[in-house]
Every structure is written in structure tokens, then in C-alpha cells.
Chains A and B, each alone.
Chain A
């Protein structure tokens, strides 16, 4: 497979190739421009930004805006910077991603390898949850959290995101496991492995690619979520809400350099997840289990 794939690119002339690269380069520059603006302006003193050119490199380099955004900026009523909110986001995202991915994997495993009457209907209903807009569930969710006594807590946010993420994680894993040969499960049954043993020893070890996809998806969605954070966060608000409070503040001087630094800080974790996890998008883990 991989050997053949190397030769499948259509050979093109030099001029065509140069043209293609030029176009791609222009697009790349266009998309990188906002990042550039954010980057250069976050290391300038405020006077340089208000004084004019947003595109220019800083005359005087400074990391003060970053320090301020991280630890001293006025967020709401407290001059705490983004640090505590960043921590809240991490404490919320990591368990929420882990739990929803794990449950999605188990759901997918059951829905494909331990079929039962009505399983397709259940799967259909779970799939349905992917298409429900966030706003619709706000009030029922608030009521449920209130009844559980979890309103305004990190645990409450984790629950909300797990419930909301299950639809997608189940969809990913179900479709992935549908292509997983059932004969392997049967062989393991004959070998004497039980329900969870088969899951741990046979299914999970080959679920790497889909787990990565699922983690990236869940992480980005949950980290970037604003609505649930603002609605159910209470005093434990995530990063996105804090960023909003910082940037939208209507009193005092608008510290654009601090805002840019804060925005980059808020985006860094998802970027890291993409860069790190993207490397594990490996294919071919299934090779050799069955004739293929």
C-alpha cells in the first residue's frame, strides 16, 4: 500500500508546479496574517499600537503584556489575570475529554460487537444529540444540574460536556469498530476472554487513530465552549469566559497588547493538542489481523 502510494502523484511540469506552490504560499500567508498581527502586537507597548501601524514590528520589545494577561490583568472585579481560569479550563477539559472518549469507546464496542434488539434505534437517538443546538438544552440542563446540586461547579461543567460529547464520541467509535472484524471478538471469546477483557486487550490497543480523532474533536469543542461555561460556570468560569470578560470590559483603557496575548494564551492548548496528537494519526494499525 504505502509503497504504491508514493508513485500515485500525477507528474506535472515545472511551471505548473511553481504556480501551484505560489498559490499555496499566498493562501498560507493570508491565513497566517491574523496570527502575525496577534503575535507582534502582543509584544509591543500599548503606545505603539495606539500610535498607528498594527502591521509593523515592535520598535521596543516587551513581554509585559503577556505577564499582565497571565497574572495581573483585571478580570471582572479581581486583578488575577487568566491564570486561575486557565487552571479551571484544564481541570474541566481533561476529565471531560477522557470520560466522553472512554464512554464513546465502550458504546461503540457494544453497539457493534454486542448487538441487541433496538441497538440501531439507540444509536440513532445518540446521533440525534449531535444535531441539537446548545441553546435548546440550556434550561433543562440548568434544572438537572440544580437538582444534582452541581450547578456552578467544575463537576457540573464536566457532566454537561460529557453528556454533550457522547453523541460524537459514540459515532466515531461505532463507525470505527464496525469495520473491526467480528471474528477477532469471537476468537477471543473462544480463548476465554470476557466482555471487558476483549475491550481492553483486543479492541482498545488498535483504537489509536480514532481515539486521537475523538480527543482532538472533544478537546477543541470543550476548550472553546463559551455558552455552557458562561451559563453553568458560576464562580468557576473557564478560560473562554474570562477572555471575554477581559476583552469586552467597558471601563478603563483598552489594552490591546494584553488582549492579544490573552487570546493567544487561550488558543495555545488546542494548538498543542493538534500538533502533538496529529503525529499519532497513524494508519495501518490493523494491518495483518485479517486478510486485507
Chain B
């Protein structure tokens, strides 16, 4: 029994099923991020927790109380909307206390709660202003204040940062994380931004086409993606997926790929029992940061493999340099230190950290488990 239980929940609009039996247990104080491309059902799921959409099948329980059919205002949740949804005709103070007023909280208590929240979010000086007179970041704070003041069991965030400019978004991200550390409240947060998901969450549910693709900690999701979708969706630039043939030589599984000239070369896996895959085709997944120059390779790794190949393009991006090459006929991106001595159209000695490599079944797209 979790704090927030999503049990076998489905959602359909007529014959169209948009959510397929989602099962998630959220513990008290957890920060769960629902992430996925648009149309994956993440916002629908959030709205169902909030009570703004009906539940077609299964049940949702908050603190062991099944809330299917319970009115949004009686679920003891608070929501921060993408557009902030501040009431334009009310001052910041009225906006924040509107919910308390509707729930019949007496005025002195409302004012005390308002003062507390305003201090926490540093918006004390804005309380008499109208939302129209605030900047994007300030509106964001007010929207959070409106959620906080209610002291709900669960906070729901619907892409709260996507309307902010890039710099402010990063600042507010940190702010939200700090707030979570301080208040230790249960949060369900929807975003399409995988960086937000990785930085904020204690657990992530990666969703696609109405299915939860993988549910796990950010590290699990990033290092051991369950399938090709999760592997390529999480991380930027995306994980390189290279077609390879699995060969076993001297008891060690190796992925055979071809370099820019079509010459075969082999990268040996660290461990794992691949016997069932011997001689078959697999998809080799390597994150860009696992391909570096030899000096920049991870010193803690026990399996750095050399790879000699032609460089196609180099893209300096300040802190990093992205290097593109061709492997098995596809572009592969490597992420290197800014000062790596790499030149376009020249051969280069890459170092591949095969400890971080994963393999996928080309038919199903699932990761090959070789425990």
C-alpha cells in the first residue's frame, strides 16, 4: 500500500484507449515524474489523479481512500497548471487564499497561512498585485503558493516550467527541488522534458502511447533502459543505437560492427551471458558520453575499448565537443571534453566505455537481460 496508489488504471474515449492499465505506487514524500512525448497519456493520468477526468477502469487511492468519483476539491490535492491559471481579477493574496476561502477556513487562519507561504516563496512584497503585473517567474511562484497553502496530501504539477524561458526554467527547477527537500511532500510531476525528469525526480515513469514503458529511479532509467524507447527518449543527445552482430570469442561476448570504411571491428561486453544470442543480430546501445578520447575516458571503468574510426563532424558546444562518426552505416555521436584534440575528416582513436553499453533485441526493442 503506497501513499498514492494507481491500480490498474485505464482511460478510454469511446473505443480509443489512451491509457493501458497503469500501475504505480507512490510512497509518501516521493517525487514521481511522469515523462513522455506529447500524446503519451501523462497529462491524462495526472488529470485523473486530480479528478478532472473520469477513470474508465481500475482505481486511484490516496492514503488508502479510493477517490474514483470523488470531487477534485475533496481529494485533498493541489495542482499547479502549465498556464499557472491565476485568477486575473484577484490579487496575489486573494489568489493564494481562494481555495481556503472556498473550504470555509476562517479569515485569521487564512492570513496566517498566506503569510507563511509568501515568506517561503519570497513573494511577500507582491501580495497586493494583480497577476497581470507579475513576471513569468513570479506568476510561477504564486501558482505554487496557491498549491502550498492548501497543505494537501499530494501536489500535482502539470508541466509547470514549460512556459518559462530557458534560464528561468533552470532556476525554478532548482527551486522546486529545494522546496521538495525542505517540505518532503508527495509530488506527481508531468513533463515532456527528460532533463527535468532526471534532475527532479526520486522516481520516473517513462510513458509512451498510453503504456508505462519503465518505472524506476533516474539512475535505473538512464543506465538500464528497459527498451529502445526509454533509451532514446531519455538523455540528450540520444543514446547511439548501432546494429551489431554478436560473436563470442574466448568466452567473451563481443559486438561486431563496421567502421566508416565498412571494415569490421569488435567491442567486447564487460559481462553477461549472451550464449543465446551467439551469431544473431543485436542493437548495441552506447551513450554519447561513453565514447571519448582516450585521455577523457572514465578512469573507474574496467572496460575501456579502443575504436579507430574516421571523424565526420565536430561540434564544439562550450563545455563539450560533440563528435560525429559513422558506425555500421549510421551516425554515432561522441561527447568529449572541450579541449579534446579531434579534427573533422581525420582518423581518430576513440575510447569506448563498454561497461555502460547495453544491448537490445532488434525484434521487440526490449533490452537483453544477461544476468
CA–CA, A206 and B88, complex, Å: 8
A191 CB contact (under 8 Å) in B84, B88, B99: B99
Identify which of B2-10, B73-81, B251-259, B301-309 touches chain A.
B73-81
**Smallest CB-CB separation from A186: which chain B residue?**
B52
Residues of B within 8 A of A16 (CB): none
A189 CB contact (under 8 Å) in B72, B82, B84, B163: B72
CA–CA, A183 and B82, complex, Å: 9
Are A190 and B88 touching (Cβ within 8 A)? no
B131 close to A (CB within 8 Å): yes
Residues of A within 8 A of B86 (CB): 184, 288-290
Identify which of B33-41, B133-141, B237-245, B264-272 touches chain A.
B133-141
Are A189 and B52 touching (Cβ within 8 A)? yes
Are B98 and A191 touching (Cβ within 8 A)? yes
> Which of the listed residues A192, A197, A206, A287 has the most CB atoms from chain B within 10 Å of its own CB?
A192
**Smallest CB-CB separation from A187: which chain B residue?**
B85
The B49-75 residues at the A interface (CB cut-off 8 A) are 50-52, 71-73
The interface size of chain B toward A, counting residues with CB under 8 Å, comes to 32
> Which of the listed residues A184, A193, A289 has the most CB atoms from chain B within 10 Å of its own CB?
A289
B88 CB contact (under 8 Å) in A186, A193, A197, A289: A289
A285 close to B (CB within 8 Å): yes
The B134-188 residues at the A interface (CB cut-off 8 A) are 134, 136, 139, 146, 150, 163
CA–CA, A271 and B73, complex, Å: 47
Instruction: Name A's interface SS.
Output: helix
CB distance from A188 to the nearest CB of B (A): 7
A35 close to B (CB within 8 Å): no
Are A186 and B85 touching (Cβ within 8 A)? yes
**Smallest CB-CB separation from B87: which chain A residue?**
A202
Knowing A191-B98, A192-B102, say if A288 contacts B139 (CB, 8 Å).
Answer: yes
Are A187 and B89 touching (Cβ within 8 A)? no
B83 close to A (CB within 8 Å): yes
CB distance from B151 to the nearest CB of A (A): 13
Interface readout for A263-292 with B: 1 if CB under 8 Å, 0 if not? 000000000000000000000111111110
Are B99 and A190 touching (Cβ within 8 A)? yes
The A194-212 residues at the B interface (CB cut-off 8 A) are 197, 201-202, 205-206
CB distance from A219 to the nearest CB of B (A): 25
A146 close to B (CB within 8 Å): no
A183 CB contact (under 8 Å) in B81, B103, B131: B81
Knowing A181-B85, A186-B81, A288-B86, say if A192 contacts B133 (CB, 8 Å).
Answer: no
Are A183 and B85 touching (Cβ within 8 A)? yes
**Smallest CB-CB separation from B73: which chain A residue?**
A192
Residues of A within 8 A of B82 (CB): 183
Are B89 and A192 touching (Cβ within 8 A)? no
B83 CB contact (under 8 Å) in A181, A197, A201, A206: A181
Are B163 and A187 touching (Cβ within 8 A)? no
CA–CA, A285 and B132, complex, Å: 9
Residues of B within 8 A of A187 (CB): 79, 81, 85, 87, 146
Other A-B pairs beyond A181-B83, A187-B79, A289-B87, 7, CB < 8 Å:
A192-B99, A192-B102, A288-B86, A288-B133, A289-B84, A289-B131, A291-B163
Task: List 18 contacting pairs A-B, 8 Å CB cutoff, sorted by A.
Answer: A181-B83, A183-B81, A186-B50, A186-B52, A188-B87, A190-B52, A190-B72, A190-B79, A191-B150, A193-B98, A288-B134, A289-B83, A289-B84, A289-B85, A290-B85, A291-B84, A291-B136, A291-B163
